Chain A
Amino acid sequence: MNEQVLPWFLLLILLPLVGAFICIGTKNRTTDYVASLFTGLTALVGLWMVGRWGFTGVRIHLGGLPQFGRFVGKEVSMFGFLLDPLSAIMLMIVVGLGFLVTVYSVAYISAGNKEHPVTDGRERYFFWMLLFIASMAGLVTSSNFLQLFIFWELTTICSWALIGFYETDRALWGGYKALLMTHGGGLALMVAIVALYLNAGSFDFEALKAISPEVRGALFALIFVFIMVGSWAKAAQFPFHTWLPEAMEAPTPVSAYLHAAAMVKAGVYLAARLILEGGALPYWVGLLTTVMALLTMFFAVSAFFFQDDLKRLLALSTIAHLSYILLGCGVYIMFKAPEAYQGALLHIAAHAAGKGLLFLTVGALTYFAGTRRISELSGVASKQPLIALSFFVGVFTVTGVPPLAAFWSKLFLIIGALQNGAFGYFLAFAMLLESLIAFGWFLHVGQRVFFGTPSPHVEAIEGSRRSIDISLSVLIAACILMPLIALPLASAALGK
Chain B
Amino acid sequence: MVKWQFALIWAIAVPLVLLAISPLLDGLARKIRARLHSRVGPPLIQGYLDLVKLAGKTDVTPVANTLTNFLPFLALSAAVTAGVLLPVSDFAPFSFAGDLILVLYLLGLSTVAVVLGGAASGNPYSFLGAGRELQLLLFTEPVLAFALFVLAVKAGTFRLSEIVLWHAQNGYTLSTVLAGIAALSALLPYFGKLPFDLAEAEQELMGGILLEQAGWRLALYRWTFFVKWFVVTWLFCELFLPVIAPFPLSLLLLLVKIFVIFCIAAVFETLLARLRLDHARAFFIHVAFFVLFALAFALIGS
A and B touch in the complex (CB under 8 A): no
Interfacial residues, chain B to chain A (CB-CB below 8 A): none
